[in-house]
C-alpha cells in the first residue's frame, strides 16, 4: 500500500498548525505521499479561505518542504478550489500540482447571496429556505453546479461528492433512496467518467463527527466501481492528528466493494496504486 492523502488544510486557511508539522506526522505514520490543498482564495471575504496575499508563501513553503524531505516522502502542492461565477481558474497557476474541485456554496443569482451547502445545520436550513424549502430543488442545484464545474473547469479530483448529506442526520432532509437524489448522483457520475475526474473518498466528515461513513456513500462507490471511475482516499484533515483518520475502516469498506486501488500523483504522474 502507498499511504497518502492529497486533501490537507493548515494554518494557511481554516486548518491548524504549520505545514511542516503535517509532514512530521506523516513520516511518523509511514505516509509515502502527502499533498496540501488549502482552500484557494475567493473573490469575497470569508473566514475559511486562504488570503490571496498568502498564496506565494504557501506555494514556496510546500516547495521548501518538498526539497527538505525529498528522501523521505513525496510532497505535492494542491488547492481545494471553489467553483462559482467569476471564480479564478487556479489550474495553470505556477507551482500548483493539482486541484480538488468543490462546491461548498451556491450563489443566489438575484441577490448575490452565498448559500452554504456544507456548513452548519442552521446554515443548511437557511439555504433550503432560499429554495422555498424544496429539497429536490436544492439537490438538483447542487449537483448541477458540480456538473458545470466538471465540464467547464475540470479539476483533477472532485471533493466530497455527496457533502450535501453532511447535516442529513437520520434522513432529516432526504432519503438517499429517493429517485431524484439517485438520478442526480448518477447523472453526475456520468460526467465524472466523461471528464476523467477522480472521485475522492473523504473521511473528514467522519473525523468531525458529522457523518458515520466517508463521502460518498457506499452505494455511490459501488456505482463508481461498476463504471470504472477511479477513487482516491483523502482525510481532508484540519489538524496533523487526523491525517489518516478512519483510513483502515475506509480501506476495508472499499475492498468489500471490490475496489483495491486508488489513483494518486506518484513520482509526478497520476497512476493507480494498490490500497
Ligand atoms: Zn471541502
Ligand atoms: Zn477540504
Contact 102, 81 (CB under 8 A): yes
Q: How far is the CA of 80 from the centre of ligand 1 (A)?
A: 7
Residue range 36-55: mean pLDDT, rounded = 96
pTM above 0.75, yes or no: yes
pLDDT of residue 109: 83
Question: For residue range 220-242, what is the model confidence (pLDDT) as tens digits?
Answer: 999 999 999 999 999 999 999 99
pLDDT at 168 over 90: yes
pLDDT at 111 over 90: no
pLDDT at 258 over 90: yes
Q: How far is the CA of 236 from the centre of ligand 2 (A)?
A: 5
pLDDT band at 190 (very low <50, low <70, confident <90, very high): very high
User: Cα(198)–Cα(100) distance, rounded to whole angstroms?
Assistant: 9
**pLDDT over 90, % of the chain:** 96
Q: How far is the CA of 39 from the centre of ligand 2 (A)?
A: 7
User: Cα(222)–Cα(52) distance, rounded to whole angstroms?
Assistant: 39
Q: Which residue has cell 450535501? A: 164
pLDDT of residue 216: 98
Question: For residue range 11-27, what is the model confidence (pLDDT) as tens digits?
Answer: 999 999 999 999 999 99
Residue range 203-210: mean pLDDT, rounded = 94
pLDDT band at 113 (very low <50, low <70, confident <90, very high): confident
Q: How far is the CA of 163 from the centre of ligand 1 (A)?
A: 8
User: Which among 189, 182, 269 has a CA at the least distance from the CA of 231?
Assistant: 189
Q: How far is the CA of 38 from the centre of ligand 2 (A)?
A: 7
pLDDT of residue 34: 98
pLDDT of residue 203: 98
Q: How far is the CA of 235 from the centre of ligand 2 (A)?
A: 9
User: Cα(250)–Cα(236) distance, rounded to whole angstroms?
Assistant: 14
pLDDT band at 172 (very low <50, low <70, confident <90, very high): very high
Q: How far is the CA of 216 from the centre of ligand 2 (A)?
A: 14
Q: How far is the CA of 71 from the centre of ligand 1 (A)?
A: 30
Q: Which residue has cell 453546479? A: 145
Nearest ligand atom owner, CA of 237: 2
Q: Are strands 105-107 and 114-116 parallel, antiparallel or unpaired?
A: antiparallel
Question: For residue range 32-41, what is the model confidence (pLDDT) as tens digits?
Answer: 999 999 999 9
Element (H, E) at 137: helix 135-152
Residue range 52-59: mean pLDDT, rounded = 98
Provide CB contacts within 8 A for 87, sequence distance 6+: 42, 43, 81, 153
Nearest ligand atom owner, CA of 15: 2
pLDDT at 61 over 90: yes
Q: How far is the CA of 6 from the centre of ligand 2 (A)?
A: 10
**pLDDT over 70, % of the chain:** 100
DSSP annotation of 237 reads B
Kindly list the distances between the CA atom of residue 65 and the CA atoms of 18, 42, 53, 112, in Å, as whole numbers in the listed order.
Answer: 11, 26, 20, 39
Q: How far is the CA of 211 from the centre of ligand 1 (A)?
A: 14
Answer CATH for 4-274 from 3.20.20.140, 3.40.1800.10, 3.30.750.24, 3.40.440.10: 3.20.20.140
pLDDT of residue 1: 86
Considering the chain, what is the average pLDDT of its residues? Answer: 97
Nearest ligand atom owner, CA of 82: 1
pLDDT at 255 over 90: yes
Amino acid at each position: 500500500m502507498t499511504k497518502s492523502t492529497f486533501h490537507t488544510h493548515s494554518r494557511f486557511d481554516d486548518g491548524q498548525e504549520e505545514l511542516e508539522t503535517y509532514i512530521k506526522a506523516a513520516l511518523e505514520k509511514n505516509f509515502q505521499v502527502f499533498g496540501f490543498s488549502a482552500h484557494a482564495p475567493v473573490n469575497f471575504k470569508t473566514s475559511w479561505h486562504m488570503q490571496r496575499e498568502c498564496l506565494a508563501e504557501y506555494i514556496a513553503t510546500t516547495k521548501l518542504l518538498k526539497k527538505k524531505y525529498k528522501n523521505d516522502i513525496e510532497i505535492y502542492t494542491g488547492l481545494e478550489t471553489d467553483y462559482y461565477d467569476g471564480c479564478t481558474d487556479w489550474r495553470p497557476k505556477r507551482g500548483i500540482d493539482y486541484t480538488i474541485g468543490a462546491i461548498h456554496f451556491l450563489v443566489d443569482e438575484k441577490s448575490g447571496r452565498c448559500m452554504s451547502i456544507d456548513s452548519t445545520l442552521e446554515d443548511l436550513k437557511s439555504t433550503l429556505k432560499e429554495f422555498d424549502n424544496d429539497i429536490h430543488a436544492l439537490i438538483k442545484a447542487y449537483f448541477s453546479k458540480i456538473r458545470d464545474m466538471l465540464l467547464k473547469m475540470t479539476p483533477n479530483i472532485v471533493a466530497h461528492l455527496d457533502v450535501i448529506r453532511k447535516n442529513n442526520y437520520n434522513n432529516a432532509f432526504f432519503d438517499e433512496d429517493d429517485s431524484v437524489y439517485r438520478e442526480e448522483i448518477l447523472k453526475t457520475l456520468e460526467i465524472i467518467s466523461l471528464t476523467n475526474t477522480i472521485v475522492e473518498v473523504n473521511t473528514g466528515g467522519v473525523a468531525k463527527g458529522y457523518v458515520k461513513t466517508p463521502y460518498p456513500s457506499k452505494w455511490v462507490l459501488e456505482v463508481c466501481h461498476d463504471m470504472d471511475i477511479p477513487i482516491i482516499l483523502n482525510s481532508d484533515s484540519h489538524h496533523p492528528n487526523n491525517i489518516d483518520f478512519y483510513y483502515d475502516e475506509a480501506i476495508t469498506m472499499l475492498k468489500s466493494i471490490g475496489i483495491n486501488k486508488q489513483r494518486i500523483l506518484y513520482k509526478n504522474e497520476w497512476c493507480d496504486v494498490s490500497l
